[in-house]
Chains A and B, each alone.
Chain A
Amino acid sequence: MSTGQATASSNGREARRRHLRTWPGTVGLLSPPLLWLILFFLIPIVIVAAYSVGALSLFPTTQGVSFFDWKHFLSGDSIYIGLFWKSVRMSLTVSVIVVLLAYPVGYFLALVSGKRKYVLLLLIIVPFLTSYLLRVLAWKVILGSEGIINTAVVTLGLRDADHPVQWLIYSQFTVILVLAYVWVPFVALPIFVTLENLDRSILEAAGDLGASRWRTFWRVTFPMSLPGVGAAFVFVFIPTIGEFVTPSLVGGTSGFMYGNAISDLFTQGLDWQTGSVLSLFLVVVVLVLMAIFGRFVQVRSAGAG
């Protein structure tokens, strides 16, 4: 055995020993989240998948495994595909608006507010210590036919009391407004974190090289914050695409979404097979989107680094 081979062999043994020493720790650390994922993510998904093909059913049935509901759903004849695209459009709109609104908040907190930033961050989040339902219903007081805005409109003589601005409540506009309100503070967080971790010397270098603040923002700050923007977008897009509580509270008949259809199929229609098809389809879409966004964020992070 040559000296080189002996050294390599010794290094290999050392690596294996290190691996054996750290293995219990790794397993110990990974087990709880893995167990959690298996119990509350993988197993439920398997159960939903079983319902979606009739392997499990709410009521006893003689019908065996069937892909009919999947076929019907994916054929495009189903009303639910239309609802899915309606939800995608709504969610995209909300996500874009929320990111546009949250970016200045994150920017201000990270780069302008100085020592007060954590106090201000706390203040932004404080309203979210109250009930979600309460905050959504509060919008009814503001936007209702006899709410604050319509009362002002009527008082100013812009509208007759019997003809207030109706689209303020029970419309797609209301759903977008309320969802944007709900998500802006949360979405500001990943943007804040990204901007907070920016290497300030790069910004100073841009200034030293004669770039204006506006040019520095577009050429340096914004590109480097794109991973945070991407994460923020995903942060709001994924939960809102399946949203059903807010649409059912303030959406009215025009705010009926894909998530509402799933909820109805499980609770009102008792058609768990179709409900499971819709749910699983949404899970797959979300997983694909996460993979795409994950790739996007990684690449941008590497580029920024």
Chain B
Amino acid sequence: MTSDIDPILASRLDRRDFLRYAAILGGAGVLAACKKAVETTPPAGGSASASPRPSVDQEPGILKVFDWDGYGNDTYGDHVLWKAYAKKYPDQKPKFILFKDDDFGYAQVANGARYDVVHPCAYRWPDWINLDVLQPWDTSLISNFGDLNPAFVEGGKVNGRQYFVPLDWGFAAPMYRADKVQPIEDSWGLLWDERYKGRISWWDSLNMFIVAGYFNGVANPWDMTDQELQAQKEFLISKIPLVRALWPVDPTPDVLNGDIWITYAWPVHWWAAKDYGSGKGLDVVYMNPKEGRTSWNCGMALFKDTPNYYHAHDYVDAWASAASALWLVTNDAYGHTNTTLDLSKVPQELVDAFSLDDPTALEEPHSHVERPIRRRDVYNQLWGEVKAAG
């Protein structure tokens, strides 16, 4: 992989090529972080059915999509993401069932819920494979598949079969109101800066253990020892009195109404607080902390018993298009794995905020790719203790 990257680093980057290269690098990170965990987990069945499949015309057609809150409910005009699908099937609008986070979605399916398509993130992919509810995609049915970044695509394979079609990626970092907050330095430490007691919000997620770990110099916060975990728990408990609220879905309303000045945020929160670059939003900064941002990527998976096999492929094909990629980058400030996206159409502000012209932005140590947490149950239990101490 390094030999592939060297020429890129040596050359002056064209902005149009940003996603191709940045995603390759980011994808390499994702691959390194997730591929081992996925491949060492034996796929529990999940091969495509050998029985004759009904044709697309014989399928029920109303696709059930299990997706993150924010996608599918069209609050932000996100129907553009599957516009090509809507054009092909004008009378068969998908039915969206939304989850607030990966854990919630995973719990639903683990408890028996079944849909056609699901949109989990990479750090959870091994768990999804272990549930034995998925089947691999037939990538020949996805016309835009060849345009997707190969490094990300590789990360979506399990034993050579494409169980996940990676599509979106992004960062997590502290966000603050520049008119109210003067950070001493660019650091995750702003999330527990005592000068701003009562103006801070954290994400209601065990990812707070990860950022605390990076802040406190833990070598691998994704797999901490008992001693390290205990230290982070005590650290977070000592800091939670500074925190006004934990956000489960979206911190933006609290930032907009002035209750919160500093928050753990995803790019979409920063972009929404800025009113999507209209100039009418708040003066907010998406920080690049010295400890590094964290980054993530998510992809579509296909349920093994779906009666809408071809519809599901067409839906993902629509999501994988360059048009969808442009919408995702310019509206949600997230990255997309489609490498044919014309970056000259992306606002410069977005390019600068996410270092889109810096191919190393997604690499360690600038960014830490989200990866499976081996002892997730312990992290969760300790996170519960942190919250109970609030």
Q: How far is the CA of A293 from the CA of B330 in the complex (A)?
A: 59
> Smallest Cβ distance from B98 to chain A, in angstroms?
13
Contact A261 B384 (CB under 8 A): yes
Contact A267 B104 (CB under 8 A): yes
Q: How far is the CA of A209 from the CA of B248 in the complex (A)?
A: 63
| Inter-chain contacts of B384 with A (CB < 8 A) | 79, 261, 264-265, 269
Of A58, A82, A144, A248, which one neighbours B110 at CB under 8 angstroms? Answer: A58
Proximity bits, B350-390, A CB within 8 Å = 1, else 0: 00000000000000000000000000010011011101111
With contacts A166-B244, A170-B245, A253-B246 known, is A270 near B390, CB below 8 A?
Answer: no
Proximity bits, B187-216, A CB within 8 Å = 1, else 0: 000000000001000001100000000000
With contacts A59-B110, A261-B388 known, is A268 near B380, CB below 8 A?
Answer: yes
Q: How far is the CA of A30 from the CA of B292 in the complex (A)?
A: 65
> Smallest Cβ distance from A260 to chain B, in angstroms?
8
- The answer, yes or no, to whether A225 is at the interface (CB within 8 Å) is no
Q: How far is the CA of A145 from the CA of B261 in the complex (A)?
A: 11
| Inter-chain contacts of B198 with A (CB < 8 A) | 166
Q: How far is the CA of A145 from the CA of B198 in the complex (A)?
A: 11
Proximity bits, A178-207, B CB within 8 Å = 1, else 0: 000000000000000000000000000000
- The answer, yes or no, to whether A243 is at the interface (CB within 8 Å) is no
Contact B106 A170 (CB under 8 A): no
Total contacts A-B at CB 8 Å: 80
> Smallest Cβ distance from A207 to chain B, in angstroms?
54
Contact A266 B107 (CB under 8 A): yes
| Inter-chain contacts of B275 with A (CB < 8 A) | none
| Inter-chain contacts of A266 with B (CB < 8 A) | 107
- The answer, yes or no, to whether A53 is at the interface (CB within 8 Å) is no
Q: How many residues of B contact A (CB 8 A)?
A: 31
| Inter-chain contacts of A144 with B (CB < 8 A) | 257-259
> Smallest Cβ distance from A266 to chain B, in angstroms?
7
Q: How far is the CA of A70 from the CA of B35 in the complex (A)?
A: 38
- The answer, yes or no, to whether B103 is at the interface (CB within 8 Å) is yes
> Smallest Cβ distance from A215 to chain B, in angstroms?
48
Contact A264 B387 (CB under 8 A): yes
Q: Kindly report which residue of chain A lies nearest to residue B246, judged by CB atoms.
A: A253
Q: Kindly report which residue of chain B lies nearest to residue A80, judged by CB atoms.
A: B388
Q: Kindly report which residue of chain A lies nearest to residue B243, judged by CB atoms.
A: A253
Q: How far is the CA of A145 from the CA of B107 in the complex (A)?
A: 36
Q: Kindly report which residue of chain A lies nearest to residue B206, judged by CB atoms.
A: A268
> Smallest Cβ distance from B81 to chain A, in angstroms?
26
Q: How far is the CA of A269 from the CA of B206 in the complex (A)?
A: 9
Q: Kindly report which residue of chain B lies nearest to residue A167, judged by CB atoms.
A: B198
| Inter-chain contacts of A271 with B (CB < 8 A) | 377, 380-381
| Inter-chain contacts of A260 with B (CB < 8 A) | 387
Provide a sorted-by-A list of 20 A–B residue pairs whose CB atoms are within 8 angstroms. A58-B110, A80-B388, A140-B257, A145-B259, A146-B257, A146-B259, A169-B259, A170-B244, A248-B248, A252-B246, A252-B390, A254-B390, A256-B388, A260-B387, A268-B204, A268-B205, A268-B380, A270-B377, A271-B377, A271-B380
Hey, which bits of chain A sit against chain B, CB under 8 A? Answer: 58-59, 79-80, 82-83, 140, 144-147, 162, 166, 169-170, 248, 252-254, 256, 260-261, 264-271
Pick the 10 closest A-B CB pairs, nearest first.
A253-B390, A269-B380, A146-B258, A145-B258, A252-B245, A79-B388, A267-B104, A145-B259, A166-B198, A268-B103
